[in-house]
A and B are shown apart, each in its own frame.
Chain A
């Protein structure tokens, strides 16, 4: 088989999962990333391995993707996951009104849930709001964002993928007729500029996809949508705690190592390169988070940060946009050959995003090799650094 060379731009969740999938399917793979692994949105996720229940009412496509990928990630990358489950809890009447829709949505999406009495819920998680009205168990988990990404990157590397970190894409190489033949890069660590030629360029830069496509004169409908997350200095539950209601600000509180993380807000920006942590958003997180776990109020803030989700669509307010993803073949959308863009989605669905993107790349290049990432356990994340 002639070996095609794929250049992946971006080493966040999508980029590393694509590099892994491409390498498994026999491609020669080069990854170009302007920072270290997972330095943008991916590293800054709160780390919820979604059961899908959060989306089971409003966005069932995302919910079904989540529950399926949740089960797969537990098996292929156990090193990065606290698989302790989650709870959805109702603390007021409006939450209770959501109960029926929630049960129906989870059933339709095949998300296994079980209703607990308030007493049962407080017995397994004594720090929950004692006024809670009902609770459901869901198969959530917590993941370590960097190590999840590193496990994909390490496995890709062991299968031959080459990573250029701290390397910016400064332009796209073209064949003179507007078709993409590779990338011009600037390695900032060595302060060296060079060109990399490839058969296909995969733009996996998440909220930043527009910066790459604009080099080819292409616009993609992406809405960079940041939200704040706040980490607190004590672990107060074993499970991820979700508000039983439609998605909203500060409706997820999850444990991670010795911390609790509360997220998130949602607003729009133009340039995702630097997003300030807004103090009123931080205040809102403690407000909303303590409605679920009152002891958060007595807990010290440990860190506060912003992450910018890449939501597909433009103009619409953040919460109403689907959390699913889309791969664009720019030959079809803009008559530019050699460039594929993947964006949208969420951390829990990184493997699936890669599968669909690489399916598209394979179809374009006439490569007939099936995806095997769902059955392939990843190697230790440490192997990214240790040969």
Chain B
């Protein structure tokens, strides 16, 4: 890693209680190899202890540090400063959209968690249910675990909320389940979890999506919710057709 130093203006969204929101600029010397969250944390540590921001794992497994960086949803712990600005440039740091702002850069994501709960999204999958095809990370099938059980794996979706923030529909339809939730339903499959049909086959479910694919564009975790929503529509239609012909 080089010793290169950049000067970057962090223009940060600020809001406290009922007070009016405003932007505050902090000029930092950074290494372009650092991640955006490192800059935000330094603002708190050395410039302004009143700054409120969320973060936990710093390596994209927890989903806590989602923000908008120059207008685009980013998981700030894996967003290198080099990739989003230049020496002497600006980083406009704002909270995610389509969620209520608690303060500064922190939003209330209960909307997402309520939805994930509604579709019983599993946090841990058996490996055979995890969408890893083509990733070359499956263990050889003939090798079971020591005790004969199947491998388990934490789900790809880290519930970071970037997809809901980027979704052009989520902003106008508060009840819309949103990309992450519909993707979680698709992953389980309506064949395997038929009770999910009623949850997703409704005006605030799969049919609300306008196929903008912004969710897929910002997802930091390879979930591809846009494709999954389209596939979920196919599953819903297949079920309806089966019903018309007298199937279960």
A residues with a Cβ closer than 8 A to B are 35-39, 42-44, 47, 78-85, 114, 123-126, 137, 142, 144-147, 149, 166, 168, 188-192, 229, 231, 234-236, 238, 256-259, 261, 273-274, 276-277, 279, 282-283, 302-305, 380-382, 385-386
Q: Does B78 contact A43, Cβ atoms closer than 8 Å?
A: no
Contacts of B61 in A (CB 8 A): 47, 144-146, 231, 256-257, 259
A-B contact pairs, 20 of them (CB 8 A): A42-B56, A43-B57, A80-B123, A82-B154, A124-B139, A146-B63, A188-B50, A189-B103, A191-B50, A235-B135, A236-B137, A258-B156, A259-B61, A274-B41, A279-B1, A279-B31, A283-B1, A304-B35, A305-B59, A386-B117
Smallest Cβ distance from B199 to chain A, in angstroms?
A: 15
Measured in the bound complex, the distance between the Cα atoms of B16 and A192 in whole Å is: 10
Query: 16 extra interchain contacts, Cβ-Cβ under 8 A, other than A188-B50, A189-B104?
Result: A35-B55, A36-B106, A39-B54, A80-B124, A85-B145, A114-B146, A188-B51, A188-B103, A192-B17, A231-B59, A256-B154, A257-B153, A258-B222, A277-B34, A385-B110, A386-B113
B residues with a Cβ closer than 8 A to A are 1, 16-17, 19, 31, 33-35, 38, 41-42, 45-46, 49-64, 77-78, 102-104, 106, 108-110, 113-114, 116-117, 123-124, 127, 132, 135, 137, 139-140, 143, 145-146, 151-156, 158, 221-222
Smallest Cβ distance from B224 to chain A, in angstroms?
A: 13
Measured in the bound complex, the distance between the Cα atoms of B110 and A303 in whole Å is: 27
Q: Does B139 contact A166, Cβ atoms closer than 8 Å?
A: no
Contacts of A235 in B (CB 8 A): 135, 137
Smallest Cβ distance from B191 to chain A, in angstroms?
A: 24
Q: Does A137 contact B16, Cβ atoms closer than 8 Å?
A: no
- The listed residue (A257, A261, A304) touching B154 by CB distance below 8 A is A257
Measured in the bound complex, the distance between the Cα atoms of B239 and A15 in whole Å is: 48
Contacts of B132 in A (CB 8 A): 258
Measured in the bound complex, the distance between the Cα atoms of B139 and A123 in whole Å is: 9
Smallest Cβ distance from A352 to chain B, in angstroms?
A: 22
Smallest Cβ distance from A215 to chain B, in angstroms?
A: 16
Smallest Cβ distance from A285 to chain B, in angstroms?
A: 12
Q: Does A146 contact B152, Cβ atoms closer than 8 Å?
A: no
Contacts of A283 in B (CB 8 A): 1
Give me the 5 closest cross-chain CB pairs, A-B, nearest first: A43-B56, A305-B58, A189-B103, A146-B62, A279-B1
Smallest Cβ distance from A239 to chain B, in angstroms?
A: 9
**Given A36-B55, A189-B16, A257-B221 contact (CB < 8 Å):** yes
Contacts of A273 in B (CB 8 A): 45
- The listed residue (B59, B77, B140) touching A261 by CB distance below 8 A is B59
> Closest residue of chain B to A387, judged by CB?
B110
Contacts of B19 in A (CB 8 A): 191
Q: Does A303 contact B62, Cβ atoms closer than 8 Å?
A: no
- The listed residue (A78, A142, A144, A234) touching B62 by CB distance below 8 A is A144
Contacts of B77 in A (CB 8 A): 303, 305
Smallest Cβ distance from A39 to chain B, in angstroms?
A: 6
- The listed residue (B16, B127, B140) touching A123 by CB distance below 8 A is B140
Measured in the bound complex, the distance between the Cα atoms of B64 and A385 in whole Å is: 13
Measured in the bound complex, the distance between the Cα atoms of B108 and A208 in whole Å is: 27
Q: Does A79 contact B56, Cβ atoms closer than 8 Å?
A: no
Measured in the bound complex, the distance between the Cα atoms of B34 and A303 in whole Å is: 9
Q: Does B16 contact A191, Cβ atoms closer than 8 Å?
A: yes
> Closest residue of chain B to A36, judged by CB?
B54
Q: Does A190 contact B103, Cβ atoms closer than 8 Å?
A: yes
Measured in the bound complex, the distance between the Cα atoms of B61 and A166 in whole Å is: 22
**Given A147-B62, A385-B110, A37-B56 contact (CB < 8 Å):** yes
Measured in the bound complex, the distance between the Cα atoms of B9 and A245 in whole Å is: 46
Most buried by B among A229, A273, A386: A386
